[in-house]
Structure 1
């Protein structure tokens, strides 16, 4: 793995194999003993995170953004399609700044009090703000903490690309519920937040 100066497990080796015509891949990495912030994707209460922890997270995401790789995590066409299908939106969804990111950043993939970023199978090129948007969305049940996230990670979330990422994350929640034929409180939040973001982006 070509990611450096970011707190994460160290890469050991990769194994590939075939299964019914599909190429499977597994990566062996060093064990991190630090507890995760949450054992679930979404939070039910605000975690206790120090100011230093937030500073280290921001610095890690900034260093990751400048990593040199040809890996791609998300493309423009997927963003356009998801937002259009979820909200019927006729807005400009063109991303202006593409960076390298983790791709699956949520509270079960972050440790504390010592920060490590876990689960690196989705990292690659993506819009600026996508990682921060996923942290914001997975804290929807704790509005005060979600607001803290928007303040702590404002450089990534306050820009237009960051708002597009928030809208895209919401769109995926709406589409997922539509496919299942069943909504949840997370779906309701995604629909409300998505409509509000559409107004901001129009």
Structure 2
């Protein structure tokens, strides 16, 4: 018996229409597709003549943590967390049978591109000391926001299931005793260099303390100099019981994802090598 999967709405058309609805002019004929085909994004010029970036995505329901993430982040995180300003948003039901809901966010355009087109870097970027200081301040500011009761990046249940993925840690006490707010997807495709901006705020929420540092370190492992710099910058978070559990949770996520995409498959051997230092 086959399952009928609803076809995705025509996001290219939606993207152009919502740009005009928000008073913006598309600067490209065709927006860029995201992974999985559920998103479109591209450059626009706002009604004020400023460069903007319009992103839309579709989901089965117009609710939930991911749906509410960007607007809530814009409200809760202050200027110590550098990110593109959210200028406007819109949401509407999908096409005829309402099987999809579509959401749009209009941001100011980034002054520089992300450090990498994918989460893993292939070589160490030339980043000034001030960039690292700004990143450390941003991570501290994110951690300082009280955990939101309805937002979770990683929960205790997932951490307890780590041995299902990494059986060498089955004898460990995996109880997380320190939880904090995390961006949740702090990798090199979500950071810019000149100046620092942190993008992609859909999935932020509670995680074991040190989770953002652990994720950034994991995605730096193929470049040893960069991994050492990340560790040196965030050793106070990583070299703790909660930071160790955060590293295990990140490693488990990478190993799981390696079964489905090439990026994580390439990263997995480096992560497994790092796990040897945690045993």
TM-score when scaled to structure 2? Answer: 0.64
| 1:187 is aligned to 2:261 | no
Q: Please list every run of at least 4 consecutive aligned residues from structure 1 whose deviation after the TM superposition is greater than 6 angstroms.
A: none
Structure 1 residue aligned with 2:160 = 80
Structure 2 residue aligned with 1:15 = 90
Aligned counterpart in structure 2 of residue 94 of structure 1, from 175, 197, 222: 175
In structure 2, the residue corresponding to 1:153 is in which secondary structure? helix
Structure 1 residue aligned with 2:233 = 152
Residues 110-149 of structure 1 mapped to structure 2, 5 A cutoff: 110-149=191-230
8 Å Cα contact 1:80/1:93 also seen in 2: yes
RMSD: 2.2
1:22 is displaced (CA, Å) by: 5.1
8 Å Cα contact 1:171/1:194 also seen in 2: no
Aligned counterpart in structure 2 of residue 3 of structure 1, from 65, 69, 77: 77
Distance across 2 between alignment mates of 1:18 and 1:141? 42
- CA distances 1:12-39 after superposition (whole Å, capped 9, x unpaired): 3333344554555443322222232222
8 Å Cα contact 1:170/1:190 also seen in 2: yes
Aligned residues: 196
8 Å Cα contact 1:73/1:123 also seen in 2: yes
Range with greater deviation from structure 2 (166-175 or 25-34): 25-34
Distance 1:161 1:13, change over 3 A: same
Distance across 1 between alignment mates of 2:239 and 2:198? 23
8 Å Cα contact 1:105/1:131 also seen in 2: yes
8 Å Cα contact 2:259/2:265 also seen in 1: no
Distance across 1 between alignment mates of 2:141 and 2:259? 37
Gapped regions of structure 2 (runs ≥ 5): 1-73
Q: Name which structure has the greater RCO, CA cutoff 8 Å, separation 6+.
A: 1
8 Å Cα contact 2:111/2:195 also seen in 1: no
In structure 1, the residue corresponding to 2:258 is in which secondary structure? helix
Aligned counterpart in structure 2 of residue 164 of structure 1, from 225, 239, 245: 245
- CA distances 1:59-81 after superposition (whole Å, capped 9, x unpaired): 11111111244432221112221
Structure 2 residue aligned with 1:43 = 121
8 Å Cα contact 1:127/1:165 also seen in 2: yes
8 Å Cα contact 2:85/2:108 also seen in 1: yes
Between structure 1 and structure 2, the one with the greater Rg is 2
Distance 1:125 1:23, change over 3 A: farther
Distance across 2 between alignment mates of 1:26 and 1:156? 35
Range with greater deviation from structure 2 (70-79 or 41-50): 70-79
